[in-house]
Amino acid sequence: MTTTSSTLTLPAGFALDQRVQRPLVILLALVAPIVALSFGKSWVRVLDFAMLYVMLAIGLNLVVGFAGLLDLGYIAFYAVGAYTWAFLASPHFGIHLPFWIVLPLGATFAAVAGIALGFPTLRLRGDYLAIVTLGFGEIIRIFMNNLNQPINITNGPQGIDSIDPLVVGGVDLSMDLSLFGIQTPSVVLYYYAFLVCVVIALILVRRCQISRIGRAWAAIRDDELAAKAIGIDTRAMKLLAFAMGATFGGVAGGLFSAFQGFVSPESFSLTESIVVLTMIVLGGMGNLAGVVVGAVMLTALPELLRHFAVPMQMALFGKTLLDPEVLRMLLLSLAMIVMMLVRPAGLLPARTRYAHRDRRNA
């Protein structure tokens, strides 16, 4: 039985040799910020966020796409990671720990939160699981919003600012760096830092997917009862999926916190969970390449809209009828509905669904 391929399946006519494909993708990922820089720093920022969303999408895909557990509270783990960084590396409590302590701690806390969510919900599946996880996310957000009194822990809706930036090997990524006489802006430095994390995540998840664990997840996703019957420890496997998925969320959250320098409950609303879910749905659930493409597309498209839609409306109607935020929401909701109706497997469908006989020879 073949495993899901992570290579891009391009439409016929544009078929590229597999040997060309991989270096091409790597090259694209490496030069992207330099190209973007020529259009302005804000586009590099968009790429930075795209990398964070890729990270989130990889984590959520692990839970939803691989193990089939629909988690609508995923952003809570992102929040755990972000707030861990904000607590342990900011003037808020006056603690300034280095990233190699804070980031693993954030990831660990997120993983613990993942298990805390997974453990009581082991028996639930499908829409029940979705709604409980959604509730979990909301509970976390309510606490973030209100834990400013009587003891001020999260600083409430105002959020926490002046968070320490990412400092790697003595290099402060929030400062522009002069490399061999070339001025490298901070956003570009962050991009490469995030890219490294994304690549590590991709390799890790890929190894997991084609291992016994990944196959066990797929078995649970396709038929839980059968999976149990052939001796898979479904409880342990589900918990592992929740914990691993949450870990990626936690890491992304920590990086987000450092990059932004500011966190508030606003950034962790249900909408964000749904945005990440839409990325997976659009790209192709269960397929890593699809997930990456979906995440990059849905981060970049609203920005492009922001850039072009407003001037276009001004030219056509003399006023802005739809502001960028509305357009973004519209795009997301339509992406979800239309994809489900027209192409439920996503733009780049996972090659093999283990249990589907018709695809067995694909």
**16 close to 10: Cβ distance less than 8 angstroms:** yes
DSSP label at 160? B
Question: Which one of 125, 206, 306, 359 is in contact with another protein (CB under 8 A)?
Answer: 125
Closest listed residue to residue 62, CA positions, set 319, 276, 232, 337: 276
Q: What is the DSSP letter of 180?
A: T
Smaller CB separation from another protein, 22 or 125: 125
343 contact partners, CB below 8 Å, separation of at least 6: 349
Give yes or no for a contact between 199 and 46, defined as CB atoms under 8 angstroms apart: no
Using rule CB under 8 A, residue 237 touches another protein: no
| 333 close to 325: Cβ distance less than 8 angstroms | no
Selected binder of another protein within 39, 93, 100, 128 (CB under 8 A): 128
355 lies in the site for another protein, by CB under 8 A: no
269 CB-near residues (< 8 Å, 6+ apart): 75, 141
By CB under 8 A, name the one of 8, 36, 216, 335 that touches another protein: 335
User: Rounded to whole angstroms, how far apart are CA atoms 197 and 32?
Assistant: 16
Nearer to another protein among residue 149 and residue 178 (C-beta): 149
User: Judged by CB under 8 A, which of 197, 277, 289, 298 binds another protein?
Assistant: 277
- Measuring CA to CA, how many Å separate 35 from each of 23, 38, 51? 17, 6, 16
- Per rule CB under 8 A, is residue 220 in the interface with another protein? no
- Residue located via tokens 């879910």: 277
Q: Which two tokens stand for residue 121?
A: 């919900």
Asked if 334 interacts with another protein (CB under 8 A), we say: yes
- Angstrom distance (rounded) from CA 91 to CA 24: 43
Under rule CB under 8 A, which residues in 286-325 are in contact with another protein? 322
333 touching another protein, by CB under 8 A: yes
Given 142, 196, 200, 210, the residue binding another protein (CB under 8 A):
142
Question: Which region among 77-85, 126-134, 166-174, 249-257 touches another protein (by CB under 8 A)?
Answer: 126-134
Q: Which stretch in 40-48, 129-137, 190-198, 252-260 sits in contact with another protein by CB under 8 A?
A: 129-137
Identify which range of 164-172, 182-190, 228-236, 337-345 contacts another protein by CB under 8 A: 337-345
Q: 């926490």: which residue's tokens?
A: 160
Give SS3 for 74. coil
Q: Is residue 281 involved in binding another protein (CB under 8 A)?
A: yes
Stretch that binds another protein, among 131-139, 175-183, 203-211, 291-299 (CB under 8 A): 131-139
Binding site for another protein (CB under 8 A): 68, 70, 72, 120-121, 123-132, 134-136, 138-139, 142, 145-146, 149-151, 224, 270, 274, 277-278, 281, 322, 326, 329-330, 332-337, 340-341, 344
